[in-house]
Structure 1
């Protein structure tokens, strides 16, 4: 892997300490006991979710980059949640539930958790679920909305690799995208093909059932499921003028341009951006050398 240090772990935290030690300096942290009183910590298992919401049809995403005229956020399949979870139990590890807002679809799940008192103003209508099977991987990316994220994890262990916005210059970011180049992998780097990855410095968090990972705004993350697991992210949207303006630009300009060009130009647009990801990153590396 690229050069990684471990994300610090703490048992719990009050709002003043969280703001001073983690929010303001933008430092990731794993909080072990934050979910201790939540019903979700006891109840959220594969069997419980199948019984409670097995008939809900959900969008699923695969691990392949979108090609040709396909929108980069288009799902690969749709099926009932219970059917999907049965596939996971049989070994499925490509299809993933990604950013599924259950506020209106499965509203009773909102009774199983509390919004942490850490000085963040959470957007309460956007609790979202992520789910994957053993061996599932999520491509390196950062979140378009630049939110403060509390990633509350349940089920089997999950590894998250994290990289600060300052590392963007070495991560082969694809233009008009919020992802790194698909095969410029930080978990299994090919330094001959992507030499700038040698410059990357990041952190790793090993999440167990009930852990909460704080991801600061704009931080890149790569996810690997060690077993069947599911996470819920609670999000606080940007409050600073700089991040708020960047979020609006990401949503209204970059995403719109990319969607339009994929629809009209197709694969040549994708190829152009992937070439530029390599060219620009390697040019920066040459300047440093």
Structure 2
């Protein structure tokens, strides 16, 4: 049994008007293959270039281990100079990842290597962020807390991406008081006996190569597996509707803080309780209880 996934469409020479009409407004994902071909990043962005330009910058790294007990979620595993991290990436598989690294704040010279594409979208230009991962590294299935529309540009390697629209949330074992699926579930090789609702969820997949740009609509779930070491730039367009803004504020001010408070108070019991509730609610939604 496999996940029910269809290929994300791939386009070249996509006009601004067609992007808005066919993908952005109806909130459908698309890979644009030629959006970066005139960027300096298309020619230059590889690990040796980053070693030269930003090798001394100390970067926070995250591993694939779920938070346990009273640990806050998404804690930093270690901090290293970028050049030392690149050495680790080039030695072989590793689960260490750079996550949401603000280029404008930390490596402003690299901002000149890309441009904000003319797609009829208003970008939040204070937050161009870099994601880096080693062979085999995986990002748990989640959607973004700020509900941004993401434009994800891949360089220097390849990665697999699985997406699900918001309408499939009830089948994805969403953990209460969070924006993630159960971290124990490996979306690259799910156990359908334990998590049968996943077989009913309908999603999308693609493999991103050097220079590919993936549009991930607001509120869409995404899982990522680095098939080789790669660098990715994400440019973000924030939601503007009152309903979305209210949900973002609730996520940032209540959900995240409440969850971390309960982790401190109850530790592993809180995490285990949420996972049990995720299974119960998902199986009820799927008619499996």
Q: Which TM-score band applies after superposition, normalised by the shorter structure? A: over 0.9
Where does residue 65 of structure 1 map in the other structure? 66
Question: What is the Cα deviation at residue 266 of structure 1?
Answer: 1.4
For 1:251 and 1:236, locate their aligned partners in 2 and report how far apart those are by CA, in whole Å.
Answer: 17
* Farther-moved stretch of structure 1 (178-187 vs 66-75): 178-187
Q: Does structure 2 retain, via aligned residues, the 8 Å contact 1:162–1:222?
A: yes
Q: Does structure 2 retain, via aligned residues, the 8 Å contact 1:171–1:184?
A: no
Q: Does structure 1 retain, via aligned residues, the 8 Å contact 2:58–2:82?
A: yes
Q: Does structure 1 retain, via aligned residues, the 8 Å contact 2:32–2:214?
A: yes
TM-score normalized by the length of structure 2: 0.97
1:157 maps to 2:158: yes
Moved over 4 A (4+): none
TM-score normalized by the length of structure 1: 0.97
1:141 maps to 2:142: yes
- Match of 1:104, SS state, is helix
Where does residue 258 of structure 2 map in the other structure? 257
Q: Within 5 A, what are the aligned runs for 1:2-81?
A: 2-81=3-82
Q: Within 5 A, what are the aligned runs for 1:98-117?
A: 98-117=99-118
Please tell me the root mean square deviation across aligned C-alpha atoms, in Å. Answer: 1.2
Q: Does structure 1 retain, via aligned residues, the 8 Å contact 2:95–2:135?
A: no
For 2:77 and 2:35, locate their aligned partners in 1 and report how far apart those are by CA, in whole Å.
Answer: 34
Between Structure 1 and Structure 2, how many residues are aligned? 288
1:185 maps to 2:186: yes
Q: Does structure 1 retain, via aligned residues, the 8 Å contact 2:154–2:209?
A: yes
Deviations 1:144-194 (A, max 9, x none): 110011001101111100000111100001111111011233321211111
Unmatched 5+ residue regions in structure 2? none
Q: Does structure 2 retain, via aligned residues, the 8 Å contact 1:152–1:210?
A: yes
Q: Within 5 A, what are the aligned runs for 1:127-276?
A: 127-276=128-277
For 1:281 and 1:253, locate their aligned partners in 2 and report how far apart those are by CA, in whole Å.
Answer: 23
Q: Does structure 1 retain, via aligned residues, the 8 Å contact 2:150–2:215?
A: yes
